[in-house]
Amino acid sequence: MEDESLNPLRRMSSRTRKVAPKMVAALTSSDNRTQAVLARLEALENDNAGTEVGDLIDDDDASLDDEDDDGYMHKKQSKSTKRKTRQAKALENARKAPRTFIELLHEANLESLPPHIPSYSRAAVGPPSSTSRRHFCTVCGFTATYTCVRCGMRFCCRRCQNIHNDTRCLKFVA
């Protein structure tokens, strides 16, 4: 709209204006898609991590019980101080918790090195020379010719499309 007011002589097709908000939506959704791709690549490095949280809680409970016992054994006063240390301990645990490699990498600040020094980030092989990419059907694994208009995943035929729509369309968002 601003453009029009600045330059009234320029002819604008009504269609472009109609399309623009859709394009904006498409752009953001493609951003979502790249994020989904990145998240998926990230997930390829995961272990069976979901259960670990439960384990930590278990450990905490066990240690808390011990502390409570200690508290009863000693004076009543000490119990309040124990409570504080419990919190402090949780904080300390959070600090001591192993950091991921990515965090350590950020911390090391490799970008500050002069460009002639080889480093972890410079050793990455870099983008492929040809940009062509083969697409495989997410349902059956064969060469996929179609893209889902909603989520961008690939499928190869009508049958796979139905399975895709029923079971996994937009599932990567959740």
Contact residues for other proteins, defined by CB under 8 A: 37, 40-41, 43-52, 55, 58, 98-102, 104-105, 107-108, 118-120, 123-129, 133-136, 138-143, 168
CA end-to-end distance (rounded Å), the chain: 36
Pick from 136, 141, 142, 164: which is nearest to 151 by CA?
164
User: With respect to other proteins, which residue has the nearer C-beta, 3 or 107?
Assistant: 107
User: With respect to other proteins, which residue has the nearer C-beta, 3 or 55?
Assistant: 55
**Type of residue found at 161:** Q
User: With respect to other proteins, which residue has the nearer C-beta, 20 or 37?
Assistant: 37
Tally of CB atoms within 10 A around 153: 21
In the complex, minimum distance from the CB of residue 136 to other proteins, in angstroms, rounded to a whole number = 6
Query: What is each CA distance from 132 to 5, 104, 124, in whole angstroms?
Result: 43, 34, 20
In the complex, minimum distance from the CB of residue 106 to other proteins, in angstroms, rounded to a whole number = 10
